Amino acid sequence: NAGVTQTPKFRVLKTGQSMTLLCAQDMNHEYMYWYRQDPGMGLRLIHYSVGEGTTAKGEVPDGYNVSRLKKQNFLLGLESAAPSQTSVYFCASSARVSRLAFGSGTRLTVV
Amino acid sequence: KQEVTQIPAALSVPEGENLVLNCSFTDSAIYNLQWFRQDPGKGLTSLLLIQSSQREQTSGRLNASLDKSSGRSTLYIAASQPGDSATYLCAVVRDRGSTLGRLYFGRGTQLTVWP
């Protein structure tokens, strides 16, 4: 049972490049989330999804897009990366409003 | 907007001490409150979940209490061990219709337990 799997684990991008972060969960969870964690800022919600085919904005959605085409996958896209998007990104999932399971994170550096 | 505050930001104690971590939130209309542990360079691990109708939850040496009306929760760690060293975060889920399911996190308490 893999839980929540994030790929890639590390990435370095040049300003203006695009990339997609993939989150996959095998627990049949309805809810999925993308957070970013920055020193001194804590965890901030980027986007979330309460079911397949639905997405909603969180606290800091600008510069990111998401898609939930399949229940088990939640993709986070950066269309034109900026240095301000250097962060650690965490995906999480839960069965409706219950305990969250987190992935191990993706360290993204934008130079 | 829901704001979550954790005090202290950092705590350093000798092994064996009983300790209390504090979490406060501004909007008492919560669905549940969760405590997490984060080890350096790792993701978050769920420790305890307290429903809004509950007063406390226990897991091993951990006990979390919830006073919804005053907007406070405490995490009590008994007989601390060096392996308890980590950052502890609390998060609340608002009980507000369309935003149900969103968690609001505090910035955490960084705990160091020395031998």
pLDDT digits (tens, 9 = 90+) for B31-68: 899 999 999 888 999 999 999 999 999 999 999 999 99
Query: At residue B97, does pLDDT exceed 70?
Result: no
Q: Which three-class secondary structure state does DSSP give residue B82?
A: helix
| Nearest residue, CB atoms, A102 vs list B44, B101, B108 | B44
Nearest CA in chain A to B51: A98
Residue B96: pLDDT band by 50, 70, 90 thresholds? low
- Per-range mean pLDDT, top range of A1-5, A37-41, B64-68: B64-68
Percent of chain A with pLDDT over 90: 86
Compute the average pLDDT of residues B69-74. 95
Alpha carbons A45 and A6: distance in angstroms, whole number? 16
The whole-number average pLDDT for the span B86-110 is 83
| pLDDT classification of A99: cutoffs 50, 70, 90 | confident
Q: Is A103 on the interface with B (CB under 8 A)?
A: yes
- Cα B71 from Cα A62, distance rounded (Å): 31
CB neighbour burial string for A52-88, b if at least 16 within 10 angstroms, e if fewer: eeebeebebbeebebebeebbebbbebeebeeebbbb
Does residue B12 have a pLDDT over 60? yes
Mean pLDDT value across residues A48-75 = 95
Q: Which of A8-22, B49-63, B84-98 has the lowest mean pLDDT?
A: B84-98
Q: Determine the pLDDT at residue B103.
A: 84
Q: How far apart are the first and last CA of chain A?
A: 36
* Number of other CB atoms surrounding residue B54 within 10 Å: 14
Percent of chain A with pLDDT over 70: 98
Mean pLDDT of A91-96: 90
Nearest CA in chain A to B35: A99
**Residues of B engaging A, defined by a Cβ cutoff of 8 Å:** 31-32, 34, 36, 41-46, 49, 89, 91, 93, 100-103, 105-108
Query: Mean pLDDT across chain B, nearest whole number?
Result: 92
Q: What is the pLDDT of residue B100?
A: 58
Average pLDDT score, chain A: 94
Asked if A104's CB is within 8 angstroms of B34's CB, the reply is: no
